[in-house]
Amino acid sequence: MTLAEYRRKRRFDSTREPEPGKRAPRGTRPIFVVQLHHASRRHYDFRLQVGDALKSWAVPKGPSYDPGVKRMAVEVEDHPLDYAGFEGEIPKGQYGGGHVARFDTGTWATDDDVEAALAKGHLRFELFGRKLKGGWHLVRSGKPARQPQWLLFKDRDAYAGTLEADDLLGDVEAPPPDDARRAGTGKARKRGATEVPVATRPRHDWAAAARKLPEARRAAAPDGPFTPQLAKLGDSAPVGEPWLHELKWDGYRLLVTIARGQVRLWSRNALEWTDKVPEITTALARLGLRSAAFDGELIAGRGSREDFNLLQQTLSGERQGGLALVLFDLLHVDGVDITDAPLFARKALLQRMLGQTPPAHLAFSSHIEGDAGAAVELASEAGFEGVISKRGDRAYRPGRGDDWRKTKELASDEYAVVGYTPPKGSRSGFGSLLLARPDPEHGWRYAGRVGSGFSDALLDTLTAKIGKAGRDAPTVHVPPNDTDLRAARWFEPRFVVEVFSRGTGGHGLLRQPSLKAVRPDKSVDDLSDSDHDPGDSGMPTPPRTPAKRAAKQAPRRAAKAPEPAPGTRPAARARGKAAPARTPPELSSPDKVLFPGDTLTKRDVGDYYTRVMDWLLPEIAGRPLSVIRCPGGIDSACFFQKHHTAGMQLVETVRLKEESGAGDYLVVTDAAAALELVQFNALEFHPWGAQAKTPDTADRIVFDLDPGDGVAWTETVAAARQVRDLLARVGMESFVRTTGGKGLHVVVPLNPGAPWTRVKPFAQAFAQSLVQMEPLKYVATATKKFRAGKIFIDYLRNGRGATSVASFSLRARSGAPVAMPLRWEDLGRVKSGDAWTLRNAPARLARLKAHPWGRFGDLRQVLPEGFGDD
């Protein structure tokens, strides 16, 4: 559903309900809201933020905490985000007329791909509200109904019980008597509770255990952030019995204080994070401690270096992902300070406290004692940046010292941003960020610039963060160098970024830097107390990672998108040689069967697209793209997707206007991005008939000839030839392909292109003229009852936002058919629209010396005059 349905049902001159139009605020996590609605029938409206809208269900009896009670939830139209704050009266006579009161609100999270889970019909999620807590399920019912029906029920977790939504109305605004009577709730109600308490573990006397540790002492509960202990960067992990070695978790350092049972979270630079990560706050509260202090790292996924982007995107609301706090130190517990106890003893008590099964979203940072080599090897094999080595016999000491050592396997370091260069080409915001490091002689010293590794969303965020700041003169010491900085804009050190590099070159400037992350958890002042040894020269020392390994590990720059030119040669041949390619992701669950009747697996699909990628890529690269994804295979729920989704890191986006506002459309720029979509179980590729950079200008027309029941294949072939001949009469050359289904596509290139306002009227008029010529053979309406025995000429694929299947794309149908471009002279030898499949298409392409469409990419032709508004 779209917000257009919401808008259609309401008159905003008669109701105070918010109009659509606002996007989700950046940097915020998805919300949920539940509203009690006294309409013609009393019910609860259950809403989850997905993107820029609230997916909505009407739940007549409200949520129940009893996992055995499954409440009907009727899916209704999406609502705008502003609706989360709406309360009060909807006027009688308007859609949904009656009283609306907010029942509960908060954030929600899931480990699922939300769109895929909803399409499949089962979404598992967590709610972090005052009344609704813990895990929940939405499962689509198989019963036929006018509106999709789902079942909402509680997960069997620590919060499961007998509470009902109606037991929690203590602070919910009551409706006027008339609304209550009309909704069938005229009797006075019991006010009930106002929130559900955190489900804590049975209380344990941890203070007694803490007092047994060496150097333990009684102390007041911490009432604010404390100064953390920090590690120095070393060349290699120290060896010997006193040392214990932990994984270097790739996340954000979080400090935990609990006072009078109240949990608070702090970043390394003393910013409060309590409300940013409610799942962590709740998990710590479940320990049932009166006072405590912990040290840990907030992570997403496994906490490896490849998961750091997931962490940032989860916190910013760009995608959904599960978060956890990995605890590696315990400093205070229930009135007992143990900071002076040996680390071995502190960690042993921490591990006992968390238990064999820690509360959800908490984890214990285990370690290896003594064997540094094994720790480093384990970290490297598991994809972590390195290890943190700590003296197990020492107390916890704030600040940086030799008791904690950091050994990195991947060269990266942190820098202050001190300026930017202007953008070039199609890039917006800035071209690159200018970097600096503290310098004992000059204060700050220029270290180079970083211009790769930025997503579109991050470019927008940083551009807004920088604003109009900047001046022509450098604000830091710039050593002599060959870099052209004449157009650069400079400002005082403002924020911190972490950057990969391949060492330093002349004058200490970074070689081939690439952005790893923006570090909002660190300030520029932190760099003055960094773990980096500047050496005698005052310049950063070269990274300690060997050059050969660093070159292998450094992220590769994305290949520039090839200009799609379907019809000349395969992509690699057309370019002369293959462009540098990013590494595609490994397929997860490669043995999962996606075409059950043909026993074809996800690995077979991945192998097919890898083999035909040089042919497919020019068809889709640089265009807004939709895909058909089948997470459970073609016999399960498949869905059409056009917007970016959680987890996609290689696929890019273009922001385009839609009926309900604007949306981020998928754009593929190279083979790795296309194969990432395959990893997401995409089987079909459907590009626009326009480039992403010029979305309002069509560069092709597609006539889809779709035969109805009773139409022979030979009649469809004859129809395609008739379309070709009629187009030739108006001076337009056309090309043909099988669709992988029953029909054929006749495709007309436009060079230069034409606006959609001219293309669609031309396509419609052409189709209708065919119908008028042969009304017993053709039909131009999609209504099925008119199509029996006729060929439907689908001209609607020629409007802005419409798509058609790409040549060489698979189809999500039995047999794994392929859409195959043909020469006109070969059409008579083809037996059906699904003659080519995953199994035989690669062999056909291997025999071809050139693209069957030959001149398609070079042909110059325009629309006949007289169509549209030009």
User: How is residue 542 written in tokens?
Assistant: 């070269």
Express each pLDDT in 291-304 by its tens digit.
999 999 999 988 88
Q: Cβ contacts of residue 761 below 8 Å, gap of 6+?
A: 867, 868
Q: Round to whole Å and give the CA distance between 700 and 107.
A: 45
Q: Which residue has the higher pLDDT, 547 or 413?
A: 413
As a whole number, the mean pLDDT across the chain is 86
Mean predicted confidence (pLDDT) in 385-414: 88
Dihedral sign for Cα 186, 192, 198, 200, please: negative
pLDDT at 246 over 90: yes
- pTM (predicted TM-score): 0.60
Kindly report whether the peptide bond that precedes residue 752 is cis, defined as omega within 30 degrees of 0: yes
The whole-number pLDDT of residue 558 equals 30
Task: Place 552 in a pLDDT band, splitting at 50, 70 and 90.
Answer: very low
The whole-number pLDDT of residue 647 equals 66
Per DSSP bridges, beta strands 336-337 and 323-333 are: antiparallel
pLDDT at 870 over 70: no
Residue listed under structure tokens 């459970």: 632
CA distances to 230, 264, 269, 777, 838 from 227, rounded to whole Å, are 9, 15, 9, 81, 60
Whether 307 and 357 have beta carbons less than 8 Å apart is answered as no
Q: Which residue has the higher pLDDT, 190 or 859?
A: 859
Least confident range from 283-287, 428-432, 608-612, 802-806: namely: 428-432
Q: Which residue has the higher pLDDT, 236 or 727?
A: 727
Least confident range from 19-23, 450-454, 612-616, 708-712: namely: 19-23
The whole-number pLDDT of residue 867 equals 57
pLDDT at 820 over 90: yes
Max mean pLDDT among 436-440, 453-457, 769-773 falls in: 769-773
The length of the chain is: 870
Least confident range from 71-85, 184-198, 203-217, 321-335: namely: 184-198
Express each pLDDT in 75-126 by its tens digit.
999 999 999 999 999 999 999 999 999 999 999 999 888 988 998 899 999 9
Express each pLDDT in 463-500 by its tens digit.
888 888 888 889 999 887 656 788 899 999 999 998 88
Express each pLDDT in 2-52 by its tens digit.
688 999 999 999 999 999 877 767 678 999 999 999 998 999 999 999 988
Q: Which residue has the higher pLDDT, 503 or 241?
A: 241
The whole-number pLDDT of residue 605 equals 96
Whether 233 and 408 have beta carbons less than 8 Å apart is answered as yes
The 3-state DSSP class for residue 284 equals helix
Task: Place 726 in a pLDDT band, splitting at 50, 70 and 90.
Answer: very high
Mean predicted confidence (pLDDT) in 719-725: 95
The whole-number pLDDT of residue 142 equals 79
Express each pLDDT in 138-161 by its tens digit.
999 877 778 899 999 999 999 999
Q: Which residue has the higher pLDDT, 500 or 404?
A: 404
Compute the CA torsion angle 618, 621, 622, 626 (nearest 10 deg). 130
Dihedral sign for Cα 424, 430, 431, 434, please: positive
Question: For 190-207, b where at least 16 C-beta lie within 10 A, e where not — what string?
Answer: eebeeebebbeeeeeebb
User: How is residue 528 written in tokens?
Assistant: 């003055």
The 3-state DSSP class for residue 618 equals helix
Task: Place 503 in a pLDDT band, splitting at 50, 70 and 90.
Answer: low
Ramachandran area for residue 197 (φ above 0: left; ψ -120 to 50: alpha; else beta): beta
- List the catalytic residues: 248
The whole-number pLDDT of residue 658 equals 67
Closest residue by Cα to residue 515 from 575, 442, 469, 448: 448
Express each pLDDT in 185-200 by its tens digit.
654 455 688 899 998 9
pLDDT at 546 over 80: no
Mean predicted confidence (pLDDT) in 505-531: 77
Under DSSP, the state recorded for 865 is: S
Express each pLDDT in 567-578 by its tens digit.
333 433 333 334
The 3-state DSSP class for residue 318 equals coil
Closest residue by Cα to residue 498 from 439, 417, 384: 417
Express each pLDDT in 660-704 by its tens digit.
556 788 999 999 999 999 999 999 999 999 999 999 999 999 999
The 3-state DSSP class for residue 84 equals helix
The whole-number pLDDT of residue 869 equals 47
Residue listed under structure tokens 């471009």: 821
The whole-number pLDDT of residue 409 equals 64
Domains, the chain: 3-182 (no CATH), 206-408 (3.30.470.30), 412-545 (2.40.50.140), 571-687 (3.90.920.10), 697-847 (3.90.920.10)
Task: Place 531 in a pLDDT band, splitting at 50, 70 and 90.
Answer: low
Whether 173 and 35 have beta carbons less than 8 Å apart is answered as no
pLDDT at 532 over 80: no
Residue listed under structure tokens 């991945």: 606
The whole-number pLDDT of residue 522 equals 82
End-to-end CA distance of the chain: 34
Q: Round to whole Å and give the CA distance between 673 and 67.
A: 41
The whole-number pLDDT of residue 569 equals 34
Mean predicted confidence (pLDDT) in 609-616: 95
The whole-number pLDDT of residue 499 equals 87
The whole-number pLDDT of residue 143 equals 78
